[in-house]
Amino acid sequence: MFWGGVSRALLVRDQEKVVLLIAITLFCCFSIFLNGFISAGNLLTLVRSVSILGILGVGMAFLVIGRGIDLSIVAIYAMSAAWTLHLANAGVSIPLAMLLGYLLALAAGVINGVLIAYVEVPALFATLGMASLVYGFARYALVPLVVVYMPAGASGIAWVGGGFVFGVPIPILLFALIALLGHAFLRFTKPGRFIYAIGDNFAAARISGAPVRPIIVLQCVLSATIAYLAGMITATAVSSMDTNVTNSSMIYDVILVVVLGGIGLSGGRGGIRNVIVGTLLIGILLNGMTIMNVQYTLQNVIRGLILLAAIVIDSILNPRDELTAQQGDI
């Protein structure tokens, strides 16, 4: 038992390193065996392609560390940005359109938070229902089109997704910035520390006087805010937003990034560093598979298998605590 515990502790601490090692190994293999992988252009493309995933991963990480999950993050990401574009197309000024789009995201986040914290609906159900509600409501009432294009007059914000600073695409820099802010928030602010406390042992955090309910609402609001930012970056990068992304497997990629990086789903562990590591691994993998010309559907199968393996390993490394796990905590 003792040695099991020790080796498990080592593994937990080292999961991030193991994933990093795998990422580096894959990187080296691909560099050697795949033509064009190592080129600067491809590497920038690689990071850029997963920077959105990484940003969403940061938002997801806030909830997962607090033993929650946000399955509505992709729906908020897509629908709030799509509505912004639609409003702009309809002649609403860009700042106002952005404000309204953000308010949609914010409302979804607040409702999520209230449902989880005050109504005590399990986060999985609350956000699963919210994903469907946000998508359905936006499609029904706000955004009649499947794909919304950016209006020509919005060139003022096009730099967000399309610009470069010293040759580095701005989405990558924004990913870095959001990761840095997220890291600072989790490490150095009181609410950030409370998130860890809640994720580690909700009941203990509560009776110690942590404002658990407001903190949970805050988590959801942060995640919705980040989702909106990511949505705007995507929208400006590709000059459109495809609302079908809500029904794609993107949400699983976000979970994959977080879990693979080593943030345990049982909460209280990990940090933004894990998100970055997970993002890089997924980026390398996807990029490599694309260069190897692996069929998209097969890529999906492979990603599914990796996610399954990641969850199995996660549940072995971070077993659910029988004392703090609740009946019906599924």
Partner 1 sequence: MDNAIPVLLLITVVGYMAGSIPNFTSVGSLADMSRQIGEFGLIVIGMTVVMLAGGIDLSVGSTFALADFTVLALVSVAKWPIALAIAAAVAVGALVGLINGLLIGYLRLRAFLTTLVMLTLVRAVVELLLQLYSVQIASSDVESDFWDFIGTGSVLGAPFSFVVLIATAIAAHFVLTRLRAGWRIMAVGGSRRSAYNAGIPVRRTVCQSYVVSGVLTSLAGVLYAARLSGAGPDTGIGLELTVVTAALLGGNSVGGGRGSIGKALIGAIIVSLLTNGLVRLGLQNGASSMVTGFVLLLAIAIDVRWAKWRYKLQSKVYVSPAYLALPPTPPIDAESSSPYAVNDRLSAVEIIGLGEVDGPEDVILDAADNLYCSVRQGDIIRFLAPDYTRREVYAHVGGRPLGLAFDRDQSLVVCIAGMGLYRVDEQRNIRKLTAETNRSRFSIIDDSRMRLADDLDIAQDGRVYFSEATIRYGFEEWVVDALEGRGNGRIIRYDPATGATRTILRNLLFANGMCIAHDNRSVLFAETWGCRLSRYWLDGPKKGTVEILISDLPGYPDNINRGSRGTYWVALAGTRTPAYDLAMTMPAFRRRMARRVAGDEWLFPNVNVGCVVHFDESGRILDSLWDLTGKNHPAITSMREHRGYLYLGGVTNNRIGRIGLPDADPEWTGPTSYWGGRP
* CB neighbours of residue 141 within 10 Å: 9
30 interacts with partner 1 by CB under 8 A = no
Question: Closer to partner 1 at the Cβ: 66 or 169?
Answer: 66
Q: Least distance in Å: CB of 143 to partner 1?
A: 8
249 interacts with partner 1 by CB under 8 A = yes
- Tokens 């998508």 belong to 135
Count of residues of this chain found to bind partner 1 when the rule CB under 8 A is applied:
49
**Are residues 232 and 55 in contact, defined by beta-carbon separation less than 8 angstroms?**
no
Q: Contact with partner 1 (CB under 8 A): which of 100, 291, 307, 317?
A: 307
Structure tokens at 117: 């914290």
Q: Contact with partner 1 (CB under 8 A): which of 37, 62, 102, 135?
A: 135
Question: Closer to partner 1 at the Cβ: 175 or 202?
Answer: 202
Return the amino acid letter for 147.
V
Within residues 65-84, the interface with partner 1 by CB under 8 A covers 69
Q: Least distance in Å: CB of 307 to partner 1?
A: 5
263 interacts with partner 1 by CB under 8 A = no
119 interacts with partner 1 by CB under 8 A = yes
122 interacts with partner 1 by CB under 8 A = yes
Q: Least distance in Å: CB of 180 to partner 1?
A: 29
Question: Closer to partner 1 at the Cβ: 71 or 179?
Answer: 71
Query: Could you tell me which stretch among 4-12, 120-128, 176-184, 222-230 binds partner 1 (CB under 8 A)?
Result: 120-128
Query: Could you tell me which stretch among 8-16, 153-161, 187-195, 246-254 binds partner 1 (CB under 8 A)?
Result: 246-254
Binding region for partner 1 (CB under 8 A): 69, 115, 119-122, 124-126, 128-141, 144, 247, 249, 252, 255, 265, 295, 297-298, 300-301, 303-305, 307-308, 311-312, 315-316, 319-320, 327-330
